Amino acid sequence: MNSQTLAIHGATCQHCVKTIEKALGAVAGVREVHVDLQQQSVTVDGNADRGALRAALEDAGYAAEDDEPDAPPPPPDSPPPPDSPPTADRPDDQDLSLSVTGAHCASCVRTIEGALHGVPGVREASMNLANHTARVRGSARPDDLVRAVQNAGYDAAPVRDPARAEDDREQQERQLYRKLVRQTSVALAVGLPIMLWGWFGGTMTVQAGTASQWGWGAVSVITFLMLAFPGRHFFVGAWKAFRHHNANMDTLIAVGTGAAWGYSTLVVIAPNLLPEMARHVYFEASPMIIGLVNLGLALELRARGKTGAAVKRLLNLGAKTARRLDDDGENDVPVEEIRVDDRLRVRPGETIAVDGEVLEGDSEVDESMLTGEPMPVVKSAGDTVAAGTLNGSGTLVYRATRVGADTALARIIDLVKKAQGAKPPIGRLADTVAGVFVPTILLIAVATALIWYNVGPQPVAAYMVVASVTVLIIACPCALGLATPMSVMVAVGKAAESGILIRQDAALQTAAELDTVVLDKTGTITEGRPSVTRVTAADGQDQDTVLRLAASLEAGSEHPLARAILDAAEQRGLKTATVSDFRAVNGKGVSARLDGTLLRLGNRRWLEQEGLAVGLEDAARQLSEEAATPLFLARDDTVIGVLGVADRIKADAAEAIARLRDRDIQVVMITGDIQATADAIARQAGVDRVLAEVLPEDKAREVEKLQNQGRKVAMVGDGINDAPALAQADVGFAIGTGTDVAIESASITLMSGSLHGVADAMAISRATLRNIKQNLFGAFIYNSLGVPVAAGLLYPFTGWLLSPVIAGAAMSLSSVTVVSNANRLRFFKPRGHHGPRAQTGDHS
Amino acid sequence: MSLLINVTGLALMALIVWWFWLSSKGRPAKRASGGAIDIVVEDGVYEPSVIEADAGETLTLRFDRRDPSPCAEQVVFHKLDVSRTLPVGEKTTVTLTPKTPGTYRFTCQMQMYQGTLIVH
């Protein structure tokens, strides 16, 4: 046994060590591997072949240029050799991002950068460990870059601008569409004349040894060309599927058209094999079917393009550039180059580029494209702004807090895309049927042929072919397979436009079946923060004075109650005065001096303890009934007024709850408040039932209790404190206030704070379910009527037998119908709520 | 003649049943072994269409969609609640860790593309 040492290159972290140990450990004869990162060398014990070791190192991506360890290792981030030839197929200086997986330490970064620099054509490569993205500038091909990263022991995939990827997709679909239209026209141009010839009394039979045999022979060759060119993709697909023991739509079309052509050609070549009555040719069938099915595919492609409109609209919201405030002034930079903590300026009418926090400026921002809330939101220093929203008439300077894939917009797009592939349970039956559909149709086609053979009239051979070909062609697995996914895709996009994000597969369906909605009180029914609900002045005083003095007193305080009073004063345009000797008495109130007078604001007990006669009993009682907390204001020794402060219910909460109750949905309010306060809010909101004094951790249990009574329960909460209850409910709604909402926390997220979202979501869900049912019903009925009629079930009674060409048209239409019906959902409007403005993508 | 045709027809039906449903063992399976598995999406089939893996193993599947027709646009793993949109001409990575042994189908939305994930 001996030991040998080899030089390595680019190994910088424990991940690399493991990769090398694994690679060399697999070489025959290796007993032990020791990697020395410091020396960039590896010592191998055992009697392995040096060449094999070097090869293994090369495969792992760590081979040094020079075998010997004493040669100084080139720095991992060495620039590429100057003579690296630029690759011709990519223009110079393209920007490319790679998403890299497996990099865990800072030194991996250097390895990856080194590996990327090693690819010919790379001018610049930088790896960002935080978002696992490597950015490469130069002319290298993405495939080569991915391979280089893989060879270095990591994995990578090219990342592309989603908006551009969407454009590419459309481009490809347009190409495919044109190709299908071309194939359709060629096939129909051949099929139609033959069909018309038959219709207008031309002979479709073959007489042996006559000119008709030669003529039909030529037609046979021409129609074969139709199978070989416009119909080629059916045959290739069918054959490939067959080899995999699969059968698909291609199988049906290929076997059907192939059989029609084969039989007709047999008639032409050897008419004598068949009885005279059976010497009929069906050359029109194959080109007509190929033409019609291709036409159907083209129409379907068109219709499908619209189903993705919602995602496209979201993609288009993103800004392309942003104005960054650098040390040397303001620069317009591509949005990809913005990093967290960059300072950005957004001018009037511009789109906000990334998520951030406002540093200076005041403006109104239109967030409707994300939240569905039509009213613009006022933003000033300290507020958050979201990428994709539209700045109003002011200028804002903000600090980037989330960029790239982390912005709310990016996460929403991601979520919507994922949800569009969701499978609600209603589609399961169709899935099961679709899985066995095609082989079953093949069996039915053969059985049809046998039945016609045994009990059919003469000429049996012709009837056998026509009936079984028609069965193969009319059967449409696509309609069945498309029924659910198309509707889901449109519905999820539709919901996203209204600020409703559906995350969980089943939620789309379950939301239609709910009969109980549990609403958390704080932040769901109410605003979630205190505000002044009423100001009552004592005799001889006026409200404005009371409010102005209270606000002056609280001006220096950070307390939420102080905020509420200051906001109320500001709304009435009252100016606060400066006070001195401010003092806060914990849990009781505050006092300060203003121009020599002593002002005190606090609860009744405190003021009474201070020796004041408080009075104002009626006003205080009224406030208690409204679930507001009374705060009394005293000037020197006189109480001059009382302010009611409460967590007010949202402006549209009662209306939204009424909408739910109109649908016979029981609305339950759940809260930790004492019964009296809870009842007061419940009266204002108009809920059916109140569950008060419920500890936060018991909310989930209350939801479970309702479920045990056989109810389908939705829980609506803020998604943070209510997470267990949201998870317990059949559908959990997280209700947001603007774009900050934790969208991953519930099965459905309402981006706007309005409870109308719950009713809207349920309305969309019901409409979707109805649409899916129509589609499934249509697809099942179509197939279960079409196939028997095609097989000739009606023939004994009425003499009807479908032509394969009609079958081809019917089959094309059926899948187009399903897609079009799903598209109808785009025009659905949740009832009773003057919903969000339709937004278009032209802000960027 | 009559008997021959009937027998041929019945044999053909038996063949269909056998080929499409019973003989799935004959399909070439790809065994997961740590690295990523590339699956080509073209002409109506996933290639390879049968993937084998051990329960609890993290699988990385890279779908290389070459078929621009919209049928191929999504891959859906039934029972695993995973679905992904596949852009044409790109490799889309799907990472799965199936925990329960069993047979999981993965298909396109319309179920024309069909594949099987066998978890041991």
Lowest mean pLDDT among A20-34, A55-69, A221-235, A285-299: A55-69
Q: What's the pLDDT at A582?
A: 87
Q: Is the peptide bond before A530 cis (omega within 30 degrees of 0)?
A: no
Lowest mean pLDDT among A74-83, A203-212, A430-439: A74-83
Residue A15 has pLDDT above 80, yes or no: no
In a domain, B88, yes or no: yes
B118 touches chain A (CB under 8 A): no
B13 and A446: CB-CB below 8 Å? Answer: yes
Residue A37 has pLDDT above 80, yes or no: no
ipTM score over 0.85, yes or no: no
B70 and A300: CB-CB below 8 Å? Answer: yes
- The per-residue pLDDT for range A453-504, each reduced to its tens digit, is 999 888 888 899 999 999 999 998 878 888 888 888 889 888 988 889 888 7
Residue B46 C-alpha, separation from nearest chain A C-alpha, in angstroms? 9
Q: Can A520 be counted among the known catalytic residues?
A: yes
Contacts 24+ apart (CB under 8 A), A71-78: A71/A7, A73/A7, A73/A8, A73/A9, A73/A40, A74/A9, A75/A114, A76/A9, A76/A10, A76/A12, A76/A110, A76/A111, A76/A113, A76/A114, A77/A110, A77/A113, A77/A114, A77/A117, A78/A114, A78/A117
Q: Nearest-CA neighbor of A179 among A296, A60, A298?
A: A298
DSSP state of A63: B
Task: Identify the residue with better confidence: B40 or A55.
Answer: B40
State how far the alpha carbon of A476 is from the alpha carbons of A628, A815, A818, B23, in Å.
Answer: 64, 8, 11, 25
- A234 CB neighbour count, 10 Å cutoff: 27
What is the C-alpha to C-alpha distance for residues A403 and A389, in angstroms, rounded to an integer? 14
A244 touches chain B (CB under 8 A): yes
3-state DSSP percent of chain B in helix, strand and coil, to 5: 25, 40, 35
- The per-residue pLDDT for range A317-372, each reduced to its tens digit, is 888 889 999 888 888 988 888 888 999 999 998 999 999 999 999 999 988 888 87
Strands A731-735 and A748-750, how do they pair?
parallel
Confidence at B38, pLDDT banded by 50, 70, 90: confident
Q: Considering only residues 632 to 671 of chain A, which have any Cβ-Cβ distance to chain B shorter than 8 Å?
A: none
Q: How many domains does chain B have?
A: 1
In a domain, B15, yes or no: no
Q: What's the pLDDT at A169?
A: 77
Which chain B residues contact residue A478 at CB under 8 A? 71, 110, 112
Where in A586-735 does DSSP place strands (E)? 589-594, 597-602, 629-635, 638-646, 666-670, 689-691, 713-717, 731-735
A450 and B107: CB-CB below 8 Å? Answer: no
CB distance B59 to B34 below 8 Å = no
Q: What's the pLDDT at A312?
A: 81
Q: What average pLDDT does range A231-250 have in this prediction?
A: 88
**pTM for the model:** 0.76
What is the C-alpha to C-alpha distance for residues A499 and A520, in angstroms, rounded to an integer? 20
CB distance A7 to A73 below 8 Å = yes
Mean pLDDT over each residue of chain A, to the nearest integer: 84
Q: Considering only residues 7 to 46 of chain B, which have any Cβ-Cβ distance to chain A shorter than 8 Å?
A: 9-10, 12-13, 16-17, 19-21, 23-24, 26-27, 36, 42-46
Q: What average pLDDT does range A191-195 have in this prediction?
A: 93
What is the C-alpha to C-alpha distance for residues A292 and A473, in angstroms, rounded to an integer? 11
Q: Residue B91 pairs with which residues in a beta bridge?
A: B64
CA dihedral (A216, A217, A222, A223) positive or negative: positive
Q: Considering only residues 43 to 62 of chain B, which have any Cβ-Cβ distance to chain A shorter than 8 Å?
A: 43-47, 49, 60, 62
Task: Identify the residue with better confidence: A99 or A437.
Answer: A437
A455 to chain B: nearest residue by CA?
B2
B43 and A233: CB-CB below 8 Å? Answer: yes
Nearest to B44 among A165, A240, A443 (CB): A240
- Return the SS3 of A338: coil
Q: What's the pLDDT at A741?
A: 54
Element counts in chain B: helices (H) and strands (E)? 1, 10
Q: What's the pLDDT at B24?
A: 63
Q: Exposed, middle or buried, A88 (CB in 10 Å: 0-12/13-18/19+)? A: exposed
Supply A192's token pair: 């139609």
Residue A443 has pLDDT above 90, yes or no: yes
Nearest to A431 among B78, B85, B90 (CB): B78
CB distance A575 to A557 below 8 Å = no
Q: What letter represents residue A34's amino acid?
A: H
In a domain, B23, yes or no: no
Q: What's the pLDDT at B28?
A: 64
Cα three-residue angle A281-A287-A288, rounded to 5 degrees: 95
A431 and B111: CB-CB below 8 Å? Answer: yes
Residue A89 has pLDDT above 50, yes or no: no
Residue A649 C-alpha, separation from nearest chain B C-alpha, in angstroms? 38
Mutation choice for B interface testing from A248, A273, A816 by most B CBs within 10 A:
A248
CB distance A601 to A629 below 8 Å = no
Q: What letter represents residue A486's amino acid?
A: M
In a domain, B17, yes or no: no
A421 and B111: CB-CB below 8 Å? Answer: no
Q: Considering only residues 100 to 159 of chain A, which have any Cβ-Cβ distance to chain B shorter than 8 Å?
A: 155, 157-158
Q: What is the DSSP string of A575-629?
A: PP---EEEEEETTTEEEEEETTEEEEEE-HHHHHHTT-----HHHHHHHHHTTPE
A237 and B17: CB-CB below 8 Å? Answer: no
Confidence at A843, pLDDT banded by 50, 70, 90: very low
Residue A404 has pLDDT above 60, yes or no: yes
A487 to chain B: nearest residue by CA?
B109
- The per-residue pLDDT for range A363-387, each reduced to its tens digit, is 999 888 888 777 788 888 888 899 9
Whole-number percent of chain A with pLDDT over 70: 91
Residue A173 C-alpha, separation from nearest chain B C-alpha, in angstroms? 7
A81 contact partners, CB below 8 Å, separation of at least 6: none
Q: Nearest-CA neighbor of A10 among A46, A42, A40?
A: A40
Strands A2-7 and A41-46, how do they pair?
antiparallel
Domain interval for residue B96: 28-119
B9 and A435: CB-CB below 8 Å? Answer: no
In a domain, B20, yes or no: no
Which chain A residues contact residue B108 at CB under 8 A? 481
In a domain, B70, yes or no: yes
User: What's the CATH code of the domain at B41?
Assistant: 2.60.40.420
What is the C-alpha to C-alpha distance for residues A464 and A485, in angstroms, rounded to an integer? 36
What is the C-alpha to C-alpha distance for residues A619 and A626, in angstroms, rounded to an integer? 11
B110 and A485: CB-CB below 8 Å? Answer: yes
B113 touches chain A (CB under 8 A): yes
CB distance A363 to A401 below 8 Å = no
Q: Considering only residues 404 to 443 of chain A, which have any Cβ-Cβ distance to chain B shorter than 8 Å?
A: 417-418, 420-423, 431, 434-439, 442-443
A442 and B16: CB-CB below 8 Å? Answer: yes
A449 touches chain B (CB under 8 A): yes
CB distance A230 to A453 below 8 Å = no
Which chain B residues contact residue A160 at CB under 8 A? 87, 90
Lowest mean pLDDT among A75-84, B7-16, B35-44, B85-94: A75-84
Residue B64 C-alpha, separation from nearest chain A C-alpha, in angstroms? 12
Q: What average pLDDT does range A638-660 have in this prediction?
A: 90
Residue A68 has pLDDT above 60, yes or no: no
Residue A787 has pLDDT above 90, yes or no: yes
Q: What's the pLDDT at A738?
A: 54
What is the C-alpha to C-alpha distance for residues A234 and A180, in angstroms, rounded to an integer? 12
